[in-house]
């Protein structure tokens, strides 16, 4: 089964790094959608189904905490797993995000293995090993 993923981050370059990491993860990744803030992400979710959301906290227009709050209010989206990928160091804000329904967080800068670890925890084991992919990881 291919997993559709929504990557939400105001930095285009960070979205690229996360997307490349997803492709190298060993999981069957289907479509990958991108949004630069929580408002855009909610708009994408109105027309596209995703199995996982990877989101930053610090974004303009609608930050990650407000995004999670809005996501969890909607019956259609309330069970989609959200993993935060963030520079946030304030434990209170991270705990607030977790209390609102985030499954976990990864601090930037991150190692690709950290995303793989969270994917494994949420979706189970991939069909093949990470080392079996020929594409390089040059970020």
Asked if pLDDT for residue 130 goes beyond 60, the answer is: no
| Yes or no: domain 3-131 corresponds to CATH 3.40.228.10 | no
What integer is the mean pLDDT of 87-99? 88
What is the reported pTM?
0.86
pLDDT tens profile 95-104: 888 998 898 8
Neighbours of 139 (CB within 10 A): 12
Q: Pairing mode, if any, of strands 29-35 and 52-55?
A: unpaired
Q: What does the domain layout of the chain look like in residue ranges?
A: 3-131
Confidence of residue 136 (pLDDT cuts 50, 70, 90): very low
pLDDT tens profile 19-76: 998 888 777 889 999 999 999 999 999 999 999 999 999 999 999 999 999 999 999 9
- Tell me what pLDDT residue 18 has: 93
- Tokens standing for residue 136: 């390089």
What whole-number distance in Å separates Cα of residue 55 and Cα of residue 86?
8
């Amino acid at each position: 089964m291919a997993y559709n993923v929504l990557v939400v981050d105001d930095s285009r370059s960070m979205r690229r790094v996360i997307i490349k990491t997803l492709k190298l993860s060993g999981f069957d990744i289907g479509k990958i959608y991108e949004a630069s803030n929580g408002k855009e992400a909610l708009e994408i979710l109105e027309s596209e189904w995703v199995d996982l959301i990877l989101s930053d906290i610090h974004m303009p227009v609608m930050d990650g905490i407000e995004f999670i709050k809005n996501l969890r209010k909607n019956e259609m989206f309330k069970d989609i797993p959200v993993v935060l990928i963030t520079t946030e160091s304030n434990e209170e804000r991270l705990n607030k995000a977790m209390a609102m329904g985030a499954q976990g967080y990864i601090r930037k800068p991150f190692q690709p293995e950290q995303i793989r670890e969270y994917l494994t925890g949420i979706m189970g084991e991939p069909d093949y090993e990470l080392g079996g992919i020929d594409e390089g990881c040059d970020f």
